[in-house]
Each structure stands twice: as structure tokens, then as C-alpha cells.
Amino acid sequence: MTRGRRPGAAIADAMQHAAAAGYLVVPVLDPSLPCDFLALKRGGGTLVRVRRVRYPVFTVPAIGHSCAREIAGLREIPDLGNLARELWVRGPGRHVRRYRVFPDRVERKA
């Protein structure tokens, strides 16, 4: 699904970020699946794909272009009710930005 190796450090940072935010984090170890971990909270959860980008451009159109493969992979996951799909992007400053992936659009989460 992705080119090259998975961004191990970015995934670890994102998982740590999710745990600090109160999520129960479950790693997904199968590289054929289009997500890196599952973040669970009371009332639902999120399938998360992590992507590291080199350039600090985080607008929705720019992320839609540079992360098109990851977004397409998340969209291939069937609708699982209250389980959301998100792309978490880590830039050069190691800050994680979250994008909710819907079947027809991508939205930046605050």
C-alpha cells in the first residue's frame, strides 16, 4: 500500500500522542492493512494511518494530494458504524495533525 518502509518513529509518536489524549491504543501489525493502529475511547474508536511529510504544508488540498494513497486505503475499509478513519500527519517539527477521512471528503480535525 505504501512506498518504502513505514514511518516507525512517526507511528510511535502518534501512538504516544493518542495514549496521552486518553485513548486505548491497539497497534495493527499486519502491513497489508491500511491502518497503523486503533485508538479506542468510550463510545467509539478510530482507525489511524500515520504519514510523515517533509514539507510543512498542511492544508486539506495539499494533504489530499501528498497522501492520496493513504486516504484511498482508509476509504477501502468498509463502514464499521461508530469507528472513524483518520490520517495523522507528522511534519518536520514532529507535530501531529489529524484529518478525518470520509467517503467523499477529508476534513482537518482541531
- pLDDT tens across 52-98, in order? 998 888 999 999 999 999 999 999 998 878 899 999 999 888 888 99
Which pLDDT band, with edges at 50, 70 and 90, does 4 fall under? low
**Per-residue pLDDT at 21 exceeds 50:** yes
- Residue 37 contacts residue 60 (beta carbons within 8 Å): no
Q: What is the mean pLDDT of residues 93-109?
A: 93
Q: What is the mean pLDDT of residues 95-105?
A: 94
- Residue 99 contacts residue 61 (beta carbons within 8 Å): no
Q: Which pLDDT score, from 0 to 100, does residue 3 have?
A: 56
- Residue 82 contacts residue 46 (beta carbons within 8 Å): no
Region label for 13, one of left (φ > 0), alpha (ψ between -120 and 50) or beta (otherwise): alpha
Q: Which of 33, 64, 61 is nearest to 47 (CA)?
A: 33
**Per-residue pLDDT at 109 exceeds 50:** yes
φ, ψ dihedrals at 109, nearest 5°:
-95, 145
User: What is the rounded distance in angstroms from the CA atom of residue 10 to the CA atom of residue 23?
Assistant: 17
